[in-house]
Amino acid sequence: MTLIINAQHATAVRDRLVDPFGRAIDYVRVSVTDRCDLRCVYCMAERQTFLPKAELLTIEELDRLCTAFVDLGARRIRLTGGEPLVRRGFMDLVQGVGRHLRSGRLEELTLTTNGTLLADHAEGLFRASVRRVNVSIDTLNPDAYRRITRGGDLGKVLAGIEAARAIGLRIKLNAVALRDDNADELPDMIRWAHERDIDISLIETMPLGEIEADRMDQYLSLAEVRRGLEQTWTLTPVAHRTGGPSRYVRVAETGGLLGFITPLSHMFCESCNRVRVTCTGRLYLCLGQDHAVDLRDALRDHPDDDRPLRAAIRSGIGLKPEGHDFRIERRGAAPAVARPMSMTGG
């Protein structure tokens, strides 16, 4: 028995994913749909064109995909969109992937959601062994929220957050810093979150996909935001990590954690442990690059054998670049990457 266990461990170690720069890849973000029930101004065009449903991976294929990554050493999986909770059958996928949590092979299964449907699904997520959810919310002002999301109802999001907390889910908020839309509100959002024992991360807007607005007008450097916060608050760096790119500080005056995700003002690529898979099965090695490998053929051409899928994943990891090429340098510039954020997932 000991020999069998040791052999299994040796195989798992050998199969773990390491990119050309020696970074262990143990975190995968899987988009289950490019559709969303909101139209955030920094994320997508108002009249966004979505993929035909026939092009999306099925729930069963998404389960196989996640399992293949677990077989290759993934310890964290995040399910994203678009908005993942609008995908029919999504809770079946969560239940299926959750078996790897219960077996101990997976350390964490999370999702990123806009929160509009969270109240309806919080209990089911908890039953499926999900313990943490990221909620994207950029303002606590109902009118500003309606404007940023092009018609969204802030009340539904706040109700979803409270329902999730009541059931025992840990919530983390993500807020994109937007110069003209929420810059003045960020301290109040941080305070509101910390009063409820909720961590919050601020994110710089990223040049992904064509939108109506000019990102030069939207972009707000978090270095600038941090300098402003330090005029009234004491920010102490901490070693806390959740597997993603946030770099955290403790706010002495509120007692809570505040993260900064800074793809433009301060690159974080040197420690990147992540890859992303779209809802069509394209493995993107970097959010800010176009290096990709199509995994859908491996899934569909070999429905009863996942060895070709694992081989395709390993091959893709060999293409992972050292870092991204995000820039917002001049008005009217084309986005760094043509695909919209809703395609790759948050």
Per the structure, the count of domains in the chain is 1
DSSP 153: -
* 3-class secondary-structure state, position 129: coil
In this model, does residue 100 exceed pLDDT 60? yes
Residues that constitute the known binding site for S-adenosyl-L-methionine: 42, 82, 136, 206
Q: Is pLDDT above 70 for 264?
A: no
Residue 14: pLDDT over 60: no
Residue pointed to by tokens 């051409």: 301
Confidence of residue 281 (pLDDT cuts 50, 70, 90): very high
Residues of each annotated binding site for [4Fe-4S] cluster: 36, 40, 43, 269, 272, 286
Give the annotated binding-site residues.
29, 36, 40, 42-43, 78, 82, 112, 136, 172, 206, 269, 272, 274-276, 286
Q: What are the C-alpha distances in Å from 77 to residues 242, 254, 277?
A: 12, 30, 11
The tokens for 74 are: 């993934």
Q: How many CB atoms lie within 10 A of CB 337?
A: 22
Model confidence pLDDT, tens digit, residues 206-222: 655 444 455 556 788 89
The confidence score (pLDDT) of residue 4 equals: 41
Q: Please give the pLDDT value at position 7.
A: 42
CA–CA distance, 295 with 304 (Å, rounded to integer): 15
Q: For residue 209, what are the domain limits?
A: 2-344
Q: Would you list which residues are annotated within the binding site for GTP?
A: 29, 78, 112, 172, 274-276
Q: pLDDT by residue (tens digit) across 124-140?
A: 999 999 999 999 999 99
pLDDT at 116: 98
Longest dimension (CA), the chain: 65
Question: Does the pLDDT value for residue 332 go beyond 50?
Answer: no
What per-residue confidence (pLDDT) applies to 2? 42
Kindly tell me if the per-residue pLDDT of 28 is higher than 50: yes
As a whole number of angstroms, the distance between CA 92 and CA 89 comes to 5
- pTM assigned to the model: 0.85
Phi, psi of 74 (to 5 degrees): -65, 130
pLDDT at 10: 41
Checking if the pLDDT of 13 tops 50, the result is no
Q: For residue 313, name the pLDDT band (cuts at 50, 70, 90).
A: very high
Per residue in 151-191, pLDDT (tens digit) is: 999 999 999 999 999 999 999 999 999 988 899 999 999 99
Instruction: For residue 15, give the CATH number of its domain.
Output: 3.20.20.70
DSSP string, 19-48: -TTS-B--EEEEE--S--S---TTTS-TTP
pLDDT at 213: 54
> How far is residue 65 from each of residues 81, 103, 130, 222, 246, measured CA to CA in Å?
16, 17, 18, 35, 26
Q: What percent of the chain has pLDDT over 90?
A: 67
Q: How confident is the model at residue 1 (pLDDT cuts 50, 70, 90)?
A: very low
